[in-house]
Amino acid sequence: MILYRVVRAIVLSICRVLFRVQVVGLEHVPRGGSFIIAPTHRSLLDIPFAAYATKRRIRFMAKEELFSKPWLAGLITALGGFPVSRGSADRAALRTAQETIESGEPTALFPEGTRLHGREVGPLFDGAAYLAARTGVPIVPVGIGGSEQILSSGRVLPRLKRVAVVIGPAIHPPTRNGGAVKRAGVQAMTAELQVSMQRLLDEAMQRGGY
């Protein structure tokens, strides 16, 4: 936790200076308990940008290839990461995410599954909504505008452009009453999440000047 706090403070301070990061909507983030952060995904830098939402350690899925080197795997794990197989509903990763949520830690899931391009939020996986419904925690949607413009896929060095992080009102799962998670309820929550993420991305892009 000490390592996380130190690294977070350094990285976010650098990002704020280089990219003039504007954060809007912090009042929507729960002050206690577990919740799921659901950011848009256009750049590798979306992980640190999502960390502006809370000072608490955020657990997040990272592509399994990053865990092939022991030293890097140890660092990513200390910073809150756990491996996921990209482009699929990785059941092991979902189980790990459920465990982190149930332990009371905020957990970030990218519902789009992988980095996309452009201003339109792509079709979402149901993982975030499923976990929210299963654990009873809210989803906090986040739109990140400008991350693709500063570091798009395949680019090594970032451009010094403005970034806006816009956090929306939490989306609460339907009450289960002890029963099984209903697919229709999960799909409805995913649809609501997509609408919210699109609105937040549009606002973030506008605030960033794109």
> For the ranges 38-47, 71-80, 126-135, 193-202, which has the lowest average pLDDT?
71-80
- What residues make up the domain containing 156? 2-208
More reliable by pLDDT, 137 or 47: 137
Total count of domains within the chain? 1
For residue 134, give the CATH number of its domain. 3.40.1130.10
Segment 157-182 mean pLDDT: 88
For residue 196, the tally of other CB atoms under 10 A from its CB is: 21
Listed ranges 6-10, 74-78, 186-190; the one with the highest mean pLDDT: 186-190
% of the chain at pLDDT higher than 70:
96
Q: What pLDDT does 140 receive?
A: 98
pLDDT band at residue 131 under the 50/70/90 scheme: very high
Q: What pLDDT does 22 receive?
A: 97
Residue 178 has pLDDT above 70, yes or no: no
Closest CA to 108 of 36, 162, 183, 52: 36
Q: What pLDDT does 14 receive?
A: 92
Segment 18-40 mean pLDDT: 96
